[in-house]
Structure 1
């Protein structure tokens, strides 16, 4: 199947130019309208191999994500999803292209043990607030609101070591929300979780967005079943953005791909 020949309705008019009026300009030169939380234009990324040659990881990727929505970034292993997410988080600099992401932004790691550092739930969610000039009452208020958003209010004094993997992920998300982040960048949060924890984490993210139109989330995953919780989706292959649109369109496209592949194998 020729992927490039498939045309389906999407949020963007095509993958390299968003169908929104341009009104604001970020400091790095990317122009973006107020209703976009994330926009990347012609992003490429390469690493230098031992022989000195450049090895491309991303190739001319463009995307745009409206504010206040949960979007999924899907694709097979090794397609560049996590690399793209790290560029959006500012952890990597693109070799080429420009990026706009609303601030503050927060990156939540695949393994919660790499991010949850304090002995109690309350202490961990409050940990990042030390850089702000807040009173104790303001800190308590932010922590309580963030834990409520992810369904963890009853775990305020619980030792972190007694939590499940999914509960730790929700605490990590609450920590980002407590810092009033505008964009959540979530790297395959359900990889190490059982089914009940998977659903709990997804619903926690969805509920936190429903409670605030100002928070946007981009969720990297390879699980198609998680698409049902998304407002939009992006599909990648071989370092490129192949499709950018509604979850139903992405799902239909992937089902068509699977059917075509199966027919070729059977024949």
Structure 2
């Protein structure tokens, strides 16, 4: 078995307050292997947050199925096994922080699991060090910045030692520094711990850092590939209410206006700068 998350013909319907039924996911087939860093994009209402909740059994399929670490989420007696294997971090860290001291908050889930105190201390300290928050362990969470709170929330799920962490727009409420700090933590968890990361985001500069990008729209999986494969499809992205990274847009603009003939698959500032330098020197990219 090589899949951490396997969605097979996943369909999800919900009923709103006016008793109207909506189709949030419609026959989505998407597998995420163990150890992959995947980003899921989509405009508002595309179904990406609904997909995230199905990965953690917060929402259950209306049709099809989801396997998490080989466990069908429709098995009610395996819910806690699923959530231990695949933890979730939400957009607003205040909704996930429950204690008045940072280290107590990180320990909360472990205490509920009945983990021995000595092991709790080890896991809490390790998790806080991993996210760069150990020196704040005795602080009150409400005095922290948004980015620091989000790192505490990540430490709380990291202490549970999951195989996978699903993050539902964790940087949406943060400033650029806070966003960068959270992304740095996610890369450390992926590279040093081998944790599968599923990042739901609407920031293109975050998605380009993933190994794989899946794009949802109106409950359907529309695009799926590497960031380089996805972000060169600028017209398709625009039709889905999304944009390409600024580096790609800049190179395309130069091709249109100056007939530069530049390859447009530069996803980072460094790659874009290299292309521009070669072009300005009269070289080929």
| TM category, shorter | 0.7 to 0.9
Match of 2:166 in 1: 185
| Cα offset, 1:106, TM superposition | 1.2
Q: Relative to 1, partners in 2 of residues 1:43 and 1:111: Cα closer, same or farther, differing over 3 Å? A: same
Q: Write out aligned runs for 1:220-231 (5 A).
A: 220-231=200-211
Going from structure 1 to structure 2, the CA distance change for 1:222 and 1:142 (only over 3 Å counts) comes to: same
Specify the alignment match of 1:42 in structure 2: 9
Q: What is aligned with 1:100?
A: 67
> Does residue 173 of the first structure (1) align with residue 154 of the second (2)?
yes
Distance 1:152 1:129 in 2: 18
Who is 2:47 aligned against?
80
1:17 maps to which residue? none
Q: Deviations over 1:86-129 (max 9, x none)?
A: 11111111111111112422121110000011111111111111
Give distance in 1, aligned partners of 2:17 and 2:235: 39
Match of 2:213 among 224, 227, 233: 233
- Equivalent of 2:197, from 207, 212, 217? 217
Q: Quote the offset at 1:255 in angstroms.
A: 5.6
The partner residue of 2:31 within 64, 87, 93 is: 64
Which runs of 5 or more residues in structure 2 are unaligned? 70-81, 244-285
Query: Hey, what's the Cα distance between the residues in 1 that align with 2:240 and 2:67?
Result: 37
Partner of 1:204: 185
Q: Is residue 38–residue 65 contact of structure 1 (8 Å, CA) maintained in 2?
A: yes
- The structure with higher relative contact order (CA 8 Å, sep 6+) is 1
* Unaligned stretches of 5+ residues in structure 1: 1-32, 263-267
The 8 Å contact of residues 42 and 62 in structure 1, kept in 2 or not, is answered as yes
Map of 1:21-170 to 2, 5 A cutoff? 33=1, 35-48=2-15, 54-102=21-69, 103=82, 104=84, 105-170=86-151
- Structure showing greater Rg: 2
Aligned partners of 1:173 and 1:69: how far apart in 2? 18
Alignment RMSD (CA, Å):
2.2
> Cα distance, 1:181 vs. partner?
1.3
C-alpha change, 1:236 and 1:159, in structure 2 (3 Å) is same
Q: Retained in 2: the 8 A contact 1:68–1:212?
A: no
Between stretches 47-56 and 77-86, larger displacement belongs to: 47-56
Q: Deviations over 1:36-79 (max 9, x none)?
A: 11110111111246786642111111111111122111011111
Q: Distance in 1 between the 2:152 and 2:16 partners?
A: 38
More helix by share: 2
Aligned-partner SS, 2:232: helix
TM-score by length of 1: 0.79
